[in-house]
Amino acid sequence: MSTEQLRNLVIDKISAIEDENFLQAIKTILDTNTAASGVYKLTEDQKHKIAIGLEQLNKGQVVSNEDLEKEEDEWLKE
């Protein structure tokens, strides 16, 4: 069976399913497969925030994990 034939068979079977929970489970599997492919589409806002973060990194505007944990401990004591 070719890839195209298999795809059409799966589409036909999915089209016949009435159970919403089952369809949601299939969607979850497909979403997971898409995420695992390594292709991410970022919004313009996400790209902008990444650019800001990289600029901060290049300027040395960073906080070490150790300092952040100390700050968190102080915050939790309040």
Q: In this predicted structure, what is the pLDDT of residue 38?
A: 67
Taking residues 14-29, report their average pLDDT: 93
Taking residues 4-15, report their average pLDDT: 94
pLDDT per position as a tens digit, 31-69 = 887 666 666 788 999 999 999 999 999 999 999 999 999
Domain that holds residue 70: 3-77
Domain count of the chain?
A: 1
Full DSSP string of 46-70: HHHHHHHHHHHHHTT----HHHHHH
Residue bearing tokens 């068979």? 9
Q: In this predicted structure, what is the pLDDT of residue 34?
A: 64
Q: In this predicted structure, what is the pLDDT of residue 76?
A: 92
With the C-alpha atoms ordered 57, 71, 49, 39, is the resulting torsion angle positive or negative? positive
Q: Are 50 and 42 in contact (CB under 8 A)?
A: yes
Cβ burial of 26 (10 Å; 0-12, 13-18, 19+) is middle
> How does residue 26 score in pLDDT terms, banded at 50, 70 and 90?
very high
